[in-house]
A and B are shown apart, each in its own frame.
Chain A
Amino acid sequence: MINTGDTAWILISTALVILMTPALAFFYGGMVRKKNILSTLMLSLAILAMISVQWVLYGYTLSFGPDRGGLIGGLDWLGLIGVGQDPNAGYAATIPHLAFMMFQMAFAIITPALITGAFVERINFSGFLVFILFWSTFIYAPVCHWVWGIGGWLRAMGALDFAGGTVVHITAGVSAIAVAMVIGKRKGYRKVPMEPSNIPFTVLGAFLLWFGWFGFNGGSALTSGGLATSAFVVTNTAAAAAALTWMLVSWIHKRPSVLGLSTGAVVGLVAITPASGFVSPLSALAIGCIAALISYYAILIRMRTNLDDSLDVFACHGMGGITGALCTGLFAEKAINSAGANGWFFGNPGQFYIQLITVLVVAIFSFLVSFVLAKVIDAVFSLRARSEEEEVGLDISQHGETAYSA
């Protein structure tokens, strides 16, 4: 039975989440050098177009189609045949099945876009497109099915992931390390300065992400009542707590940069994502603070290594997602969401172990499959731009455009 309030909220939420991919494009684009800003925008926007098509053709049915052995969705809904205006009671009983499909499409789009921060400024565009298509098929679809699909084995085990800490942020964040290892560091990494082209774009992107995240987490209730509101509140609370924590920590070290505060906000949003339908506002404060501290020091550590995860996809999304998934196992309360579970702090230590196993399984799977995919695609299509293309910048060499006239 369709509820118009629920449907309206899910359609609005979908549009909010779709906005997050261009927001991410600007978040990343502002941090790369001037000669690569268009290329960096293009990576996210090409994914928006490509995965929109892939999801309709076969991505949705692989992820959410009728279960095959707990591992993958069947091909029954290929080309969205059989996905119509009537609800699918198993996933969301009060909105059209098409609305659920479309909401999930927005997640399938932004997840691979997150990875692009690991290989900006040196990626070969054609190899990149092939990699993303394979990544969405061989990593996103199965993990999405395991955690969210009816019959998925991690869902059956009791793993809690309200809006994608595991499905979105851990898969993307861990894959980022694998691809960065395969593609190698940028020319001059840690030797020549790499000045961000436009910090205001990054700041604008971060706060549009914050805005879009109300749909990401609030919409994941799949209804428009109390649970959506609760998720909405904790989302804002965690983002604010993380932004504030980041600002204070960087102030202790030197000065409170707006780039730092914006990064902190995004990390808080990442960390609350899996927990957003299960925790109280006070728990959200704690989760935001913890996640900001962990990711802040993760960036400092990464900067001392030779791993050029250029925009710290692992430190922000990988570590943020892991922090959030584990914190869900600590702070979850059935009093917030009766369909959830209690965490360790509410008398159920078992939930923490379920979360830990889920994190390990998804992290290891994402890393290994990404590494193999990247190696194979690099050998066949080349993932890395040629040396002179990288030097002149990807805007000109890959796309024949320049962002600025002089």
Chain B
Amino acid sequence: MALKKIEAIIRTEKLEEVRIALEEKGIIGMTVTEVKGRGSQKGILLEWRAGEYRVEFLPKLKLELVVDQTDAEKVIEAIETAAQTGKTGDGKIFISTVEDVVRVRTGERGKAAL
């Protein structure tokens, strides 16, 4: 039993494309959170009344999925392809190992709870 958690920071406007790409691979469940963050490029400049002001953190979405290890690569690939524009700010994907999962309704554990 090996479970992987995939956390992907993506552009807000890419959510639907990513969702469709995952659904095509049979991946349905996920949690989406509105987050703010920045990468090495820092923030952006926005127009003030006259002149500009700097916004240091940009709105992004964070997707969290826990999947079986055998599905992990295709999930990563689907997100990477669907969320990519090639410009800075496309986001990052973090992969980690998950010890166990519990389905609250039935108490099932592990893969059966996914």
Complex contact B54–A193 (CB within 8 A): yes
Complex contact A299–B49 (CB within 8 A): yes
Complex contact A259–B48 (CB within 8 A): yes
B 46-78 to A, binary, CB cutoff 8 A, 1 in contact else 0 = 011111111110000000000000000000000
Kindly report which residue of chain B lies nearest to residue A266, judged by CB atoms.
Answer: B49
Residues on the B chain within 8 Å of A254, using CB: 47, 52
Residues on the B chain within 8 Å of A300, using CB: 50-51
Residue from B43, B49, B52 with most neighbouring chain A CB atoms (10 Å) = B49
Contact check: which of B43, B49, B52 meets A263 at CB < 8 Å?
B49
Contact check: which of B43, B50, B56 meets A296 at CB < 8 Å?
B50
Q: Judge whether A194 is part of the interface by a CB distance below 8 angstroms.
A: yes
* Interface majority SS (helix, strand, loop, mixed), chain A: helix
Residues on the B chain within 8 Å of A253, using CB: 50-51
Count, A-B residue pairs, CB within 8 A: 40
CA distance A296 to B50 in the complex (A): 6
Residues on the A chain within 8 Å of B55, using CB: 193, 195
Complex contact B49–A312 (CB within 8 A): yes
CA distance A296 to B55 in the complex (A): 22
CA distance A254 to B56 in the complex (A): 19
Kindly report which residue of chain A lies nearest to residue B45, judged by CB atoms.
Answer: A254
CA distance A263 to B49 in the complex (A): 6
Q: Judge whether A250 is part of the interface by a CB distance below 8 angstroms.
A: yes
Q: When A193-B54, A194-B53, A195-B55 are in contact, do A250 and B43 touch as well, CB less than 8 Å?
A: no
Residues on the B chain within 8 Å of A249, using CB: 50
CA distance A257 to B47 in the complex (A): 6
Kindly report which residue of chain A lies nearest to residue B49, judged by CB atoms.
Answer: A263
Q: Judge whether A303 is part of the interface by a CB distance below 8 angstroms.
A: yes
Contact check: which of A260, A303, A312 meets B47 at CB < 8 Å?
A260
Complex contact A193–B47 (CB within 8 A): no
CA distance A297 to B50 in the complex (A): 8
Residues on the A chain within 8 Å of B52, using CB: 254
CA distance A257 to B52 in the complex (A): 10
Q: Judge whether A386 is part of the interface by a CB distance below 8 angstroms.
A: no
Kindly report which residue of chain A lies nearest to residue B57, judged by CB atoms.
Answer: A193
CA distance A193 to B52 in the complex (A): 11
Complex contact B53–A299 (CB within 8 A): no
B 28-54 to A, binary, CB cutoff 8 A, 1 in contact else 0 = 000000000000000100011111111
Complex contact A193–B49 (CB within 8 A): no
Kindly report which residue of chain B lies nearest to residue A292, judged by CB atoms.
Answer: B50
CA distance A381 to B35 in the complex (A): 41
Residues on the B chain within 8 Å of A193, using CB: 43, 53-56
Residues on the A chain within 8 Å of B49, using CB: 257, 259-260, 263, 299, 312
Q: Judge whether A399 is part of the interface by a CB distance below 8 angstroms.
A: no
- A205 to B: closest C-beta gap in Å: 13
Complex contact B47–A250 (CB within 8 A): yes
A 247-264 to B, binary, CB cutoff 8 A, 1 in contact else 0 = 001100111010110010
Residues on the B chain within 8 Å of A297, using CB: 50
Kindly report which residue of chain B lies nearest to residue A302, judged by CB atoms.
Answer: B50
Residues on the A chain within 8 Å of B43, using CB: 193
Kindly report which residue of chain B lies nearest to residue A202, judged by CB atoms.
Answer: B49
In chain A, positions 294-343 with a C-beta closer than 8 Å to chain B are 296-297, 299-300, 303, 312
- B58 to A: closest C-beta gap in Å: 11
Complex contact B47–A255 (CB within 8 A): yes
CA distance A195 to B55 in the complex (A): 7
The 10 closest A-B CB pairs, nearest first, are A257-B47, A299-B50, A263-B49, A296-B50, A300-B50, A193-B56, A300-B51, A193-B54, A255-B47, A259-B49
Chain A residues within CB distance 8 Å of chain B: 193-195, 246, 249-250, 253-255, 257, 259-260, 263, 296-297, 299-300, 303, 312
7 of the cross-chain contacts (CB-CB < 8 Å) are A195-B53, A195-B55, A257-B48, A260-B49, A263-B50, A300-B50, A303-B50
Chain B residues within CB distance 8 Å of chain A: 43, 47-56
